[in-house]
Amino acid sequence: MSAERQSLLDHDRRFFEALTAADAKALAGLLTDDFVLVSVDDGAVVDRDVLIDAVASGAVRFPAIEAFPEEAVVRRVGEVGIVVGRTGMNFTQPDGTAFSAGSRYTHVYVADSPGTWRLTSAQGTTIKPT
């Protein structure tokens, strides 16, 4: 595995770990100031501060996220890293509704410094059971 692929997958893993640990400080360090998330369950667009606040307050909880890094497609285009991967996740929405889904996601990273990436955009798409 190339060092670049490993670096991007490590950043992906740290993002998922910060969500499951409800670690707002770690999330803040991983995300760009203009980060945008497109939600896997309803397509809502959520900015960095809204996501961090929801995770920190417990309004949104991620009890489990299983990633499959061996399946990920990882690319670099200039100073941008792109990870297309798959997850199985459970989370609880602000209204208390539990949600489970398999998803494909695209994470877009920008180079912050050599070997360091910050997540600038994330989108998930539910994988419908067949």
pLDDT digits (tens, 9 = 90+) for 103-129: 999 999 999 877 789 999 999 998 987
Which tokens go with 91? 């989370």
Q: Please, which pLDDT band fits residue 99 given cuts at 50, 70 and 90?
A: confident
* Sign of the alpha-carbon torsion through 129, 37, 109, 75: positive
Rounded distance between C-alpha atoms, residue 68 and residue 90, angstroms: 15
**For residues 14, 20, 24 and 27, what is the CA-based torsion angle, rounded to 10 degrees?**
30
Highest mean pLDDT, choosing among 26-30, 87-91, 115-119: 26-30
Structural domains for the chain:
3-127 (3.10.450.50)
Are 8 and 74 a contacting pair, CB within 8 Å?
A: yes
How many angstroms separate the CA atoms of 5 and 81, rounded? Answer: 9
Cα dihedral 21, 46, 4, 90 in deg (nearest 10): 40
Assess contact for 69 and 12: CB atoms under 8 A. yes
The answer to whether residue 101 scores a pLDDT higher than 90 is no
Evaluate whether 24 touches 58 at the Cβ level (below 8 Å).
no
pLDDT in tens, 43-87: 889 999 999 999 999 888 888 899 999 999 999 999 999 999 999
- Going 113 to 17 to 81 to 3, the CA torsion angle's sign is positive
Average pLDDT, integer, range 8-17: 96
Average pLDDT value for residue range 75-102: 88
